[in-house]
Amino acid sequence: QVQLVESGGGLVQAGGSLRLSCAASGRTFSSRVMGWFRQAPGKEREFAAAIRWTGGSTYYADSVKGRFTISRDNAKNTVYLQMNRLEPEDTAVYYCAARAGYSITYYGNDYDYWGQGTQVTVSS
């Protein structure tokens, strides 16, 4: 089992920044890819970004590309999502997820473990 705990959410004005963290514990060696997803009220969960633990390859949704940056600290088993130039449309619960498979994918069903989520609210 892999346990994931997100932190760093909050309320920010449009144009501001936040950094989310996701601390992984347990059998972390069984996860090869980490992803961030988000779900806005009344909407389906959507992919935001993903990174591979080894090598650091990244992948972004078009909606966040150029504004969000995913990174990882292997020594701390922690993944980050730096979010800049936030927009009201970015308001959502953000979830961290871990995938055992090696390929980076934006399908939520491909991820094996999920955190509880952290709320991000962007005011206009």
Question: What is the model's pLDDT at position 26?
Answer: 87
pLDDT tens digit sequence for 56-104: 899 999 999 999 999 999 999 999 999 999 999 999 999 999 999 889 9
Instruction: Say which residue the tokens 């059998």 belong to.
Output: 27
pLDDT tens digit sequence for 12-71: 999 999 999 999 998 877 789 999 999 999 999 999 999 998 888 999 999 999 999 999
User: How many Cα atoms occupy the beta-carbon half-sphere of 38 within 13 Å?
Assistant: 23
